Amino acid sequence: MTAVQWRVLGRAGSINVRKVLWTGVELGLPLQREDVDVTSESFRQLNPNAMMPVLVEDDGAGPAFSLWESNAICRYLAAREQRDDLLPAEPRRRAQVDMWMDWQGGDLNNSWRYTFMGLVRQSPAHQDAAQLRAGVANWNRHMAMLDAQLQRSGGPYVLGEAFTLADVVLGLATHRWRAAPIEHAELPALQAYYLRLCERPGFVQHGRDAGP
């Protein structure tokens, strides 16, 4: 039987690439990351958005399967491996995981985008002082929502006792917030959450030690 080969196309510094790589660690899958030119025609054929990552799966049985959107890739891999602990089969529990993953990919990401580009990436187009101040406040406000959820769930994870895919995407978002050169809100539940995540090898490799 031909072994399945997985390639994750995208640069190592991308938070979305690192979501997939951390998920691979949790699943015990040998995912291989490859740098890619997102402007190339070959990449655009895999993802017309020209954004990373793209997962390419080759089982030797036919044309390789490809998938884009980082959260969708994480869900696919967990479902493929039948890991109900990471992605529950029970509808309500699954919906809660999906809810927090979708919030991360939408509202939370949008809250930090301007500030991150201006203060971490040093983009000349993101240096308006008023927008930076507003961005920091908005970023802290969204992280406070996560802190409140951790308090409600009783921890140690976003949905309580069980570690799920929601913790993969929100754990990396927490690391990015902590690593950013901003004034951080005092969020003790989030601090405890971060320290708990540091006990997981996948987070240490693709979160804590991988930059913001």
- Summarised one tens digit per residue, pLDDT across range 78-121 is 999 999 999 999 999 999 999 999 999 999 999 999 999 999 99
Structure confidence at residue 191 (pLDDT)? 97
Position 3 scores a pLDDT of 85
Query: Cβ atoms within 10 A of the Cβ of 153, count?
Result: 17
Taking residues 117-144, report their average pLDDT: 97
> Whole-angstrom Cα distance, residue 25 to residue 27?
5
**What per-residue confidence (pLDDT) applies to 56?**
97
- pTM, two decimals, is 0.95
Cβ neighbors of 176 (< 8 A, separation 6 or more) are 15, 112, 116, 212
Strand pairing report for 54-58 and 5-9 = antiparallel
Tell me what percent of the residues of the chain surpass a pLDDT of 90: 94
What integer is the mean pLDDT of 138-146? 98
Burial grade of 63 (CB within 10 A; 0-12, 13-18, 19 or more): exposed
Residue 2 has what pLDDT? 58
Domains of the chain: 5-80 (3.40.30.10), 91-200 (1.20.1050.10)
Q: Which residue has the tokens 């089982």?
A: 59
Give the tens place of pLDDT for each residue, 171-189.
999 999 999 999 999 999 9
CA distance 117 to 122: 6
The arithmetic mean of pLDDT across residues 29-51, rounded, is: 95
Backbone angles phi, psi at 182, to 5 degrees: -130, 170
Look at residue 30 in the predicted model and tell me its pLDDT: 95
Q: How far apart are CA 75 and CA 51, in angstroms?
A: 18
